[in-house]
Amino acid sequence: MSSFLRTPLAIALLATLLTGALPGEAAAQAGTRIKYALGDVISIDELPLLVAVARSKQRGVEVEVTAFKSEEVATQAVINGQADIGQGTPYAAVQKVNVPVRFFYQMSALQFFPIVNAEFYKTWKDLDGQEIAVHTRGSGTEAIMRLMAKEHKITYKNVSFVPGSNVRALGLLKGTIKASILDASNKNYVMKEAPGKFVILPLGQVKASDEALFATQAFLDKNQAAVAIFVEELIKVNREINKDPKSILEERRKLGLLKDLPAKLEAEILPYFEEAAKGGIFPNDGGGENAAKNDLEFFQLAGALKGENLKAADFWNFAPLKAALAKVR
């Protein structure tokens, strides 16, 4: 009888001690489990997320990351309630689906590099009447290339769709693609594999989200404290990287993240984050209203968003970000 009494008592005591050790708002939602849908394979660019996930866990908010085949699948998982938070920029779905879904945090801004085979082209003007390859129809990469065509008053002969920066990188190296647009890590890969063979074309300031977080309005309302903790951790990681890109290496080692990364990719971590920090890819303030404004403009131009006078409030919920920013100064 006495041992029966002692066990629950000990558990209760331990629980009080544990939750007592956590900050107040975390205690309120300690043990919250957030199902996170990622529409991509987990690689080095996901390191800030993984660090924030590990740190949130220490504060009692467990974020369970699942990698899906594509952003569309991740979006569907959120819309249908199988996941709580999604990563990506499904502005079209948010506009059209009748379940209120809102963005609440900008993880990173778009960073793409228009790249051409130097043997054939040197400048934007050379691409007039030529064929280019972008990710998919209606994607950010297509929007950037069309935007630049407009800016430089040129027209492409044909825009072909080759999903995956890594696939286009291979195409460029093999010579089957002569002009395309790549993400940072694949641009670095191509430039390293074939030095001098490619030229990167200058890009004006394109400000839009590459990755943002979204969830249903209902989820955000119900889990304010837990979401604020997670967002807080995401902001902190970004600020650390922007201050010192090397910090991510240390965090990776300390938390034991992406342990089985091949040595070749391991060497790419620091250049990737140094370049991102220099390019201002990771916002210090989670994007917020500025990101919302830029995204609405960009995705309208990309053809993903329809209609005039789009309101940020119909796409974004700024409350979790404000709550988190109040905590991290």
**Residues forming the site for other proteins (CB under 8 A):** 71-72, 76, 79-80, 90, 92-93, 95-99, 136-139, 160-163, 167, 171, 174, 176, 303-304
Q: How far is the CB of 210 from other proteins (least distance, A)?
A: 15
Q: Which is nearer to other proteins, 16 or 176 (CB)?
A: 176
Q: How far is the CB of 142 from other proteins (least distance, A)?
A: 10
Q: Which is nearer to other proteins, 77 or 292 (CB)?
A: 77
Q: How far is the CB of 108 from other proteins (least distance, A)?
A: 19
Q: How far is the CB of 129 from other proteins (least distance, A)?
A: 21
Q: How far is the CB of 166 from other proteins (least distance, A)?
A: 11
Query: Do residues 26 and 61 make contact, with C-beta atoms less than 8 angstroms apart?
Result: yes
Q: Which is nearer to other proteins, 32 or 209 (CB)?
A: 209
Q: Which is nearer to other proteins, 2 or 98 (CB)?
A: 98
Q: Which is nearer to other proteins, 77 or 229 (CB)?
A: 77
Distance CA 136, CA 251 (A): 34
